[in-house]
Copies of this chain bind each other. A is one copy, B any other.
Amino acid sequence: MASEDTPDHRPAGAPDAAAPRRGLLAVGPPGTPDWLVDAVRDGGATVVPVDRAEGLLWAHPDDPDGLGQVVAVHGDSLRWIQLPWAGIEPYVRVLDHDRLWTCGKGVYAEPVAELALTLALAGFRGLPTYLHDAPLTERGTIGRNLHGASIVIVGAGGITDSFLRLVAPFAPDTTVVRRRPEPHPAATRTVTLAELDEVLVDADLVVVACALTPATKGLFDASRLRRLRSDCWLVNVARGAHVVTDDLVDALREGSLGGAGLDVTDPEPLPVDHPLWSLPTCMITPHVGNTATMARPLLAERIRTNVDRWIRGEPLLGAVDVDAGY
């Protein structure tokens, strides 16, 4: 077998575009869907059994034992392993420094950012009202532009990156709120969480896109919601517990904010008889920021790109920080 005939002892992660075996990649475990195999081929690789391969796409979301066995047997020749998922917690104990590891991080932010923009536009343009009461709604009375809006985005991760890119043509004034004071390059300004209360009062739109931590749990409680203008929309595509649900119900009932677009709720799923369902200025989607259907073409694109880069000896996208475990 090629891998035994010509063992490859170059350091892991050192690109060498001239290597003859670079284009030989394996896909596992058995049963991996065709579209993932196709993505590897579309990137320019020849799909071969793992004993002849220099790299591996491991497509199972949660089979660290299976991958561990493959690495134990063929690890000497596998110089790159691609995991398709962004959350690779199940595989942390298999990660090592003997090869390059990549994952799907960044890929899944785009659909979530799209949904955040969808909910924002739908709210601004009055869709909840029109879809419920359209025949009876007076013409021309509802809705306003997102163009030129003041937008506060809580969090500075991949969703925020994508959202700022999608919203840029609307010429908004954007404030990113994050833990560290490091400015987000695509935002009008960046402030820390300590300044959240100050920036909320001028917002037309607030997008919650941060990780759930002790510092952000219950961030939008009654006192914070009261700081929002009565025409401000709140969009949450992060985690339900960022918002105190009962306080949001009160605020929406009082009309102290314009409305809410929620892809996540607390509790989740929301009980069928929960009051949020019946509030006319609340739009709820059931955690569909990133569905399998949406992720598939984006993931295929990422894998194609990485295979192509691997063959050319270029840096790969989504490199895992092995010590950090993500």
Contacts and interface: CB of A to CB of B under 8 A. Distances in A.
A94 to B, nearest CB: 27
A166 B297 CA distance: 22
A56 to B, nearest CB: 27
A229 interface: no
A170 B121 CA distance: 15
A286 B139 contact: yes
A48 interface: no
A269 interface: yes
Contacts of A127: 118, 122, 127, 131, 283, 285
A288 B140 contact: yes
Contacts of A277: 134-135
A250 B94 CA distance: 56
Contact of A288 (B122, B126, B147): B126
Interface in A122-170: 122, 124-128, 130-132, 134-137, 139-148, 165-166, 168-170
A115 interface: yes
A136 B288 contact: no
Contacts of A114: 121, 125, 145-147, 170
Contacts of A166: 169-170
A287 B140 contact: yes
Contact of A126 (B128, B165, B285): B285
A292 interface: yes
Contacts of A318: none
B294 A137 contact: no
A110 interface: yes
Nearest to A117: B121
Contacts of A298: 145, 147
A288 B139 contact: yes
Nearest to A287: B139
A270 interface: yes
A67 B35 CA distance: 67
A43 interface: no
A291 B143 contact: yes
A141 B132 CA distance: 22
Interface of A: 110-111, 114-115, 117-118, 121-122, 124-128, 130-132, 134-137, 139-148, 165-166, 168-170, 269-270, 272, 274, 277, 283-288, 291-294, 297-298
13 contacts: A114-B121, A114-B145, A115-B143, A118-B124, A122-B122, A125-B285, A126-B288, A127-B127, A128-B131, A134-B277, A135-B272, A139-B269, A169-B169
